[in-house]
Structure 1
Amino acid sequence: MSRQELNVDICVIGAGAAGLSVAAGAAQLGLSVVLYEAGEMGGDCLNTGCVPSKALIAAAKTAHSMQHASRYGLGNAKAVVDWTRLRGHIDGVIETIAPIDSQERFEGLGCTVFREHAAFIDPGRVQSPSATVTAQKFVVATGATAFVPPIPGLAETPFLTNETVFAQPTQPKSLIVLGGGVIGVELGQAFARLGTQVTVVEAMTIMGPQEPEAVAIVRASLLADGVTVQEGAKAVAVSGDHAEVSVTLEDGLVLKAERLLVAVGRAARVENIGLDKAHVSYSRKGVTTDDRLRSRSNPRVWAIGDVAGQEQLTHAAGFHASVFIRNAVFKAPATAVVAHMPAVAYCDPEVAKIGLTEAQARDQFGSEVTVTQAEFEDNDRAQTERSTEGFCKLVIGKGGKILGATIVGEGAGEAIQLVGLAMANKKGVGAITSLISPYPTRSEIVKRAASAYFTPKLFSDRTRKLVKFLKLFG
């Protein structure tokens, strides 16, 4: 079987969130597109990441609500977990979304789709079993995979990652989660709420570079759910089989569980795609690009999504695709480096962050920084739902410029978008106070935190004197 020889405008390697967005946009603009995907269409987000994890979290949240129904004057009930049916729920969600990312849809848009592995054979060509593709522009969108740390014994011991945990035939009775970042905390809490005995092991502090107050609330929630949290704990050895695994910590403590979940980070997929032959520089973090996501060593190659070595977020991948289209197609300068990229940890309570933390802002701007905070316990909607944990914290710079925000609580990922909208449009904190929020909503907390910035001035002695003076005119 001879290979096809194709010459197209754009060749995309990887049909995850980033690659699909580029392929769809370029094809609908009339450009010829070849799209490669050796695995499942939709990439990690659809098949092993965002979608299945949030489906699992939704089930776990329901189980938790049943067990705590007494706060609403109802009877508590223990959820009966049928793992086979729960997996069916997860698979059903994936199947519902999958047609949007399907090969058929993209072929219908005009893309040529190859479901096979492709690699560069020189700076201007990509080859696969079926075709050799020459393109004006190449987009590397191969994503990232779970990083496996070089812990003695780990390679010889059965372990799970986010890519395999949802396919388990049975729910583990006990689980050690190696890594207390967002993935480890989300999955660890979800399994605990479904009845698994969970221990989270983190070498530093759980949740990474978040506001300390936010971390404290999440930690308390994990403990309340029965999760054992080992922070400042370095794993130095792993052993075991399919019946039981052991993790030895640096202090000599040995943890045992039925299963081990490795969630210590993600590594860009840069191997076996011929980047060296394409003269594209890269590292474990990803392809080396400029701020517009163009390879610094081969201007015909662009990298977007997780493999670009920036934020490993699905919405960042979609944004990267728009940056590519604006730069490469419309010749309009657009940068991938922005201050308003939000990130959400979908634990309970949720933690949403955008921009700088208070500590980061003070390091950069010192005394110019003002911090305001509003609590969910003062939010009427939160009170009606008996869910008052958390806060909204705004970090504000000179002239009312919003430098960052953290929201902790139910629906934090929805509320943070108000801050993101203001930052994206270069609006100061005053723009948020101008908003008329419907009552009662949880998002009112953002306006309350913004209004607190003006409170000292509004009710100052100077303002009181002004009001007293104006009274003279009736």
Structure 2
Amino acid sequence: MSKLKTDICVIGAGSGGLSVAAGAVQMGARVVLIEKGEMGGDCLNTGCVPSKALLHAAGAGMSYPAAMDHVCQSIATIAPHDSQERFEGLGCKVIRAEARFTSPKTVEAGGVTIKARRFVIATGSSPRVPEIEGLASVPYLTNETLWSLTACPDHLIILGGGAIGMEMAQAHRRLGAKVTVIEAFEALGREDPEAAKIVKTALRGEGVTLIEGTGAERVSGTNGSISVSLSDGQTVTGSHLLVATGRRANCDDLGLQHADVDRTKTGIKVGPNLRTSNRRVYAIGDVVAGGMQFTHVAGYQAGVIVRALLFGLPAKAATHHIPHATYTSPELAQVGLTEAQARETYQDKLEIVRADVSGNDRAIATGRSGPGFIKLMVVKSRPVGVTIVGPDAGELIAFWSLVLSLKLKMSKIAGMVAPYPTLAELNKRAVSAYFTPRLFDSPKVKTIVKIIQRLVP
């Protein structure tokens, strides 16, 4: 077995791992990048990219074969940016094999023992499959295998009403499938209930059957005929079954016991600086215990630890400004605290201001002025959370991520000017709603204005 010494060994070539490797090697560090699967990880190959490509194709009215072809083309177009060839061209040593720690200082992969000053675990997550009677013996799909379908399902049953389940429900309904979503609790239950209701109403309006508050107890059947028995006595029968009940960290086969790296049932334990119990080892992205499992979080955390790894600077990862979005139509996006969380935290110090999509001129002009809103949670003139539901909510929320990151006051935000007509004017309108009672409904302000008008020539 050959031996290799390096500055940084990155395990996992998904969003986080690739960001660390690219940043470190281009600034002069020696980098070994290990990936046992496809370069680009889940996001490129089976997650974010294909799901959003399918949603676009479904919304554009494509046939199922054309939609799947669009998915493949989207992946193929992006793939060179994440490819082994690109990273080798940057100067990384790329090893396409499974990695396993053999000591706190070494990893083995592909017949090579790698000794590194620092290790970064960025192995991501995989679909979590629940323990349901009969499920193991029934053909089912996950986000990893869904893309192998060549024909539209006749009736797609989806277990799980989170973002993945709801996005795939709408996409497949628009592509011609009958769709039933089964959620044991509430669909989009982690989101603002008012915003989630708008999304659920839209999906139901398109013909998606959404069953909430009852779980799957038993699954049976074969290809083309699968039955799901529910806890309330219902039985749902369809042609295909998609399991979308969450994610589990990919850390079982890393040999962490040899690396002195502590873990829990949900992933690898890290501190605010993303360092594990082994000071040589960091972990980022979905593999982190209790972390936010979004591609952009892994990318953000990569930037945080690159500063620590290359320059020895203290660095901590924050979460208060991390946005997320569900890309249904309408979209639902959130950053910071929801209304319920903000009320629990700040109680009577909290102010809620909002603006409705129906009053936005661009939404009206483009036929997208249906139900939707932006809601700001404000404490002492600073936003602590923002909820947006409506067209392009995922785009609009980025502005508020910057606001929360910089801890801007509403008076500073009021100086923002959006081109007319744009959906971004919703942001401005919400800020205006905050100042309206302070300016137009204030007797004190009116008195001051009258005095000035008398005194100023």
Partner of 1:19: 17
Which residue of 2 is the match for residue 30 of structure 1? 28
Over the matched positions of the two proteins, sequence identity in percent amounts to: 48
1:307 alignment counterpart: 287
The structural deviation recorded for 1:283 is 2.0
Shift of 1:422: 1.3
Check the 8 A contact 1:418/1:432 in 2, yes or no: no
Report the Cα distance in structure 2 between the residues aligned to 1:267 and 1:234, rounded to whole angstroms.
20
Q: Judge conservation of contact 2:376–2:383 (CA < 8 Å) in 1.
A: yes
* Counterpart-to-counterpart distance in 2, 1:437 and 1:86: 34
Q: CA deviation at 1:311?
A: 0.9
CA distance in 2, matches of 1:223, 1:26: 48
Look up the SS of the partner of 2:186 in the other structure.
coil
1:145–1:266: 8 Å Cα contact kept in structure 2?
yes
Q: Mean Cα displacement is larger for which, 24-33 or 428-437?
A: 428-437
Q: Check conservation: 1:27, 1:109, Cα contact below 8 A.
A: yes
- Aligned residue for 2:187? 206
2:49 aligned residue: 51
1:343 — aligned with what? 324
CA contact (8 A) 1:176 1:199 kept: yes
Aligned to 1:385: 366
Partner Cα distance (2:103, 2:260) in 1: 8
Is contact 1:433–1:451 with CA below 8 Å preserved after alignment?
yes
Give the match for residue 447 of structure 2. 465
Aligned residue in 2 for 1:268: 249
Distance 1:21 1:35 in 2: 11
5+ unaligned residues in a row in structure 1: which ranges? 64-78
Shift of 1:330: 1.5
Correspondence 1:163 to 2:161: no
Cross-structure match for 1:179:
160
- The whole-number CA distance in structure 2 between the counterparts of 1:5 and 1:339 is 42
Give the whole-Å Cα distance in 2 for the aligned partners of 1:135 and 1:463: 65
Deviation at 1:430, TM superposition (A): 2.0
TM-fit CA distance, 1:127: 0.4
Question: Which residues of 2 match residues 110-259 of structure 1 at below 5 A?
Answer: 110-259=91-240
Give, in angstroms, the shift of residue 409 of structure 1: 0.7
* Other-structure match for 2:58: 60
Question: Is 2:451 the counterpart of 1:453?
Answer: no
1 CA distance for matches of 2:242 and 2:308? 40
CA offsets, 1:132-177, max 9 Å, x none? 0000001111000000001111111110001110111221111000
Moved more, 271-280 or 424-433: 424-433
Instruction: Output the CA distance in 2 between the equivalents of 1:10 and 1:410.
Output: 42
Aligned alpha-carbon RMSD (Å): 1.0
- Number of equivalent positions: 453
Greater shift, 132-141 or 320-329, is seen at 320-329
SS in 2 for 1:277: helix
In structure 2, the residue corresponding to 1:59 is in which secondary structure? helix
- 1:249-299 Cα offsets, whole Å, 9 max, x none, are 00110000000000010000011110111111112321100011100x211
Q: Hey, what does 1:443 align to over in structure 2?
A: 424
Matched, 1:324 2:322: no
Note the C-alpha offset of 1:208.
2.2
Report the counterpart of residue 298 of structure 1 in structure 2. Answer: 278
Structure 1 residue 364 displacement after superposition = 0.7
Q: Is the 8 A contact 1:270 1:284 kept in 2?
A: no
* Shift in Å, 1:84: 2.8
- Cα distance in 1 between the residues matched to 2:393 and 2:65: 31
Following TM superposition, by how much is the alpha carbon of 1:436 offset from its aligned partner in structure 2, in angstroms? 1.1
